[in-house]
Amino acid sequence: MNEDSMTISTSKPLSLVRRIVRSPLVCIGVLGFLLLMMMGLNTDVMTSYAGEPFKSVQHIVALAIAGFAVYCAYASFIEQRSVSELALPGMGRELGIGLLIGAGLYAACELILMALGIYRITGLNSLSFMVPAIAMALSAGVFEELLFRGVLFRSVETWFGSWAALVVSSLAFGLTHLINPEATLEGAIFIAVEAGILLAAAYMLTRRLWLSMGFHVAWNYTQSAVFSSIVSGNEAAQGLIRSTVKGPDFLTGGNFGVESSVLSLLLCTSTGIAMVVMAVKRGKIVPPIWKRSA
């Protein structure tokens, strides 16, 4: 056996191992597991510092930074790729737009309920009541986007294309909300459609995570800190506005919150579809791997 054949025979197994380690399936299993563990730490922090909101925010910010570091390290050293979805140039613009639209979409739902006489303002609390929701909004907005769009959507898209990734990530995102208190299958389906499409579309359009993170953080924060409403079936906490809500569940969302109402379904889904159309027109849709190979 000559030297060249020896080199070829020893390099093939290494190449196969490298391909497996860098595969989308392993990324979902390993990086997804690490992010899930960190999400569990977030929950522990918010529970431990429930009476100390500023400390809770500090710890969640530190965990978010650690989450970004873990995500970037995996992409750089395991997948051996540039982390373009978290590139800093343009971050402020996309994050800002996401924050404005996310807050605007939720405020629009509540304004409609006010116009119908369903949501009634009875008073205002001090601004300090808006602090505790920061930790919750940051935790959900950062880690759920890293997991569902950064890991799951991107990994499925690598093999099966953008449309399959949109369906899979949306369903997974919606169904995970079934573990929340007061969760309902209807609420999970609503989130899968309205939020799943909206957040996936933000990634498809920009190929980055900042816009979807802005949407996610602002929606949750406005919902809890401003309007004192139920967030995805969790117990409502007092925010800035004291209010009463009385009306049919299909408009209020019942015990699951406005996310399970036809208002958010129509507003968020239509916004998401508009962004999907923009992504198609701009050529941002990735075909399945077999079509790319062809």
The span from the CA of 218 to the CA of 147, in Å, is: 18
14: pLDDT confidence band, cut at 50, 70 and 90?
very low
Q: Do 170 and 197 contact (CB within 8 A), yes or no?
A: yes
Q: Do 262 and 250 contact (CB within 8 A), yes or no?
A: yes
Q: What is the pLDDT of residue 234?
A: 82
The span from the CA of 258 to the CA of 107, in Å, is: 11
Q: What is the pLDDT of residue 140?
A: 95
pLDDT at 3 over 60: no
Which amino acid, 177?
A: H
243-275 pLDDT, tens digit per residue, is: 999 999 999 999 898 999 999 999 999 999 999
151-163 pLDDT, tens digit per residue, is: 999 999 999 999 9
Q: What is the pLDDT of residue 16?
A: 82
Quote the percentage of the chain above a pLDDT of 70. 95
Average pLDDT, the chain: 92
In terms of Cα–Cα distance, which of 138, 133, 99 is closest to 218? 99
Q: Which residues contact 284 (CB under 8 A, 6 or more apart)?
A: 162, 204, 205, 207
User: Largest Cα–Cα distance in the chain?
Assistant: 87
Phi, psi of 169, rounded to the nearest 5 degrees: -65, -35
Q: What is the pLDDT of residue 230?
A: 86
Domain extents for the chain? 87-293
pLDDT at 195 over 60: yes
pTM score: 0.91
32-79 pLDDT, tens digit per residue, is: 999 999 999 999 999 999 889 999 999 999 999 999 999 999 999 999
In terms of Cα–Cα distance, which of 254, 104, 134, 88 is closest to 182? 254
294: pLDDT confidence band, cut at 50, 70 and 90?
low
Q: What is the pLDDT of residue 271?
A: 97
